[in-house]
Amino acid sequence: MSTRLNPYIGFRDTARQALEFYQTVFGGDLQLSTFADFGASEDPAEAGKIMHGQLTAENDLVLMAADTPNSMELTPGGSISISLSGSDEAELRGYWDKLAGSGQATMPLEKAPWGDTFGMCVDGFGITWMVNILGAPQQ
């Protein structure tokens, strides 16, 4: 297997809801494991939190997430964006509609100066997404 880079998002206690939402956006197989499943829960109130979640969808799309125990620091969203890019306009617009529809478009999905169609949004879980639909190749 070749090396793969995929996003791993940290939440305080909404990883399950976020990953279930992302499954409605991207489809695929969702695997969820709680802290209790691994016997790793120091606080019984956190036993049901997600220790590791992985959504594996078509096109080698993999998105991982976990809840952060209250004893650990969490900087939601940080300064990172997740970027989706490709030439399948219908697929990417479908992702955009669901992601932006759950939150707020910060830059509309429209023709960009470089010739592609580009937009930015923050989904309902506070995650920033960039969508870039490749334009016609320049001659």
Domain range summary for the chain, segments of one domain joined by +: 8-67, 82-133
Give the per-residue pLDDT at 22: 97
Give the per-residue pLDDT at 30: 98
Give the per-residue pLDDT at 41: 73
Give the per-residue pLDDT at 45: 87
Query: Which CB contacts under 8 angstroms, 24+ apart, belong to 67-70?
Result: 67/10, 67/11, 67/12, 67/13, 67/14, 67/15, 67/16, 67/35, 68/10, 68/11, 68/12, 69/35, 69/42, 69/43, 70/12, 70/43, 70/46
Written as one letter, the residue type at 37 is D
Give the per-residue pLDDT at 44: 87
Of 3.90.79.10, 1.10.3090.10, 3.10.180.10, 3.10.129.10, which CATH number belongs to 8-67? 3.10.180.10
Fold annotation for 82-133? 3.30.720
Give the per-residue pLDDT at 99: 97
Q: For each of the chain's 139 residues, which pLDDT tens digit applies?
A: 567 788 999 999 999 999 999 999 999 999 999 999 988 777 888 899 999 999 999 888 999 999 998 888 887 666 688 999 999 999 999 999 999 999 999 999 999 989 999 999 999 999 999 999 998 765 5
Max CA separation in the chain (angstroms): 62
Give the per-residue pLDDT at 126: 92
Give the per-residue pLDDT at 39: 82
Burial label for 104, CB within 10 Å (0-12, 13-18, 19+), is: exposed
